[in-house]
Amino acid sequence: MTEELQKQDVADTSSIKADMIAAIPSLRAFAVSLSGNADRADDLVQETLVKAWSHLSSFQAGTNLSAWLFTILRNVYYSEYRKRRREVADSDGAFAAQLAQPASQNDHMDFLDFTAAMQKLPPDQREAIILVGASGLSYEEAAAVCSCAVGTMKSRVNRGRNRLAELLASSPAAQKIIAKAG
């Protein structure tokens, strides 16, 4: 009996391990978008995995593992964010400059402008537009990750993208877009 239980346990952790590995790319993508910093993002992911592993018992089998991991990651990010904020305010673009610029950037909005503008958003709006706009979560799923109401999530997404548009409107690349669209 005991042996059987142990066997069960081993099987469970190895399948959870496989699921966690599968979730790593989206966790990293979320962390980079959220923090604007590739190195910091990987530290966030690392801490998330360690936390998740030590709290496996609180994960409900059969529910969405990556949503659970996203929730842990944002908690880690916010507790660090509050700490950092007390220390030094992040200077604009300092983080962005550390990110490798994707090869596909040409006449689009300037990458550094965009990353810097993202970091100027209030973090709740930033995470909202990442979860809904890039991770492909539904408003309901994103609201669950952030433990807020669906309506709150929708309003964060709206305010976030409007604010982002305002911030970017003055960038040279956006001026070009405006000129084209006009």
Partner 1 sequence: MNEVDKPKMTKKADKESGIRVVENRSVPKAQAQQSEIQVQIGRQLRTVYDDVLNQPIPDRFMELLQKLDTSKK
- 53 near partner 1, rule: CB under 8 A: yes
Query: Where do we find the tokens 């007390």?
Result: 86
Among 11, 21, 94, 149, binds partner 1 (CB under 8 A): 21
Q: Which stretch binds partner 1 (CB under 8 A): 63-71, 77-85, 86-94, 127-135?
A: 127-135
Q: What is the CA radius of gyration of the chain?
A: 19
Structure tokens at 134: 């890039």
**Least distance (Å) from partner 1 to the CB of residue 161?**
6
Among 42, 80, 90, 92, binds partner 1 (CB under 8 A): 42
CA 28 to chain centre: 8
- 114 near partner 1, rule: CB under 8 A: yes
Q: Which stretch binds partner 1 (CB under 8 A): 59-67, 70-78, 80-88, 99-107?
A: 99-107
Contacts 24+ apart (CB under 8 A), 73-78: 73/27, 73/30, 73/31, 73/34, 73/44, 73/45, 73/48, 74/34, 74/127, 74/145, 74/146, 76/44, 76/47, 76/48, 76/51, 77/31, 77/34, 77/35, 77/44, 77/123, 78/123
Per CB under 8 A, residues contacting partner 1 are: 6, 9-10, 13-14, 17, 20-21, 24-26, 28-30, 32-33, 38, 41-42, 45-46, 49-50, 53, 99, 102, 104-105, 108-109, 111, 114-115, 129-130, 132-136, 139, 157, 161, 164-165, 168-169, 174, 177-178, 180-182
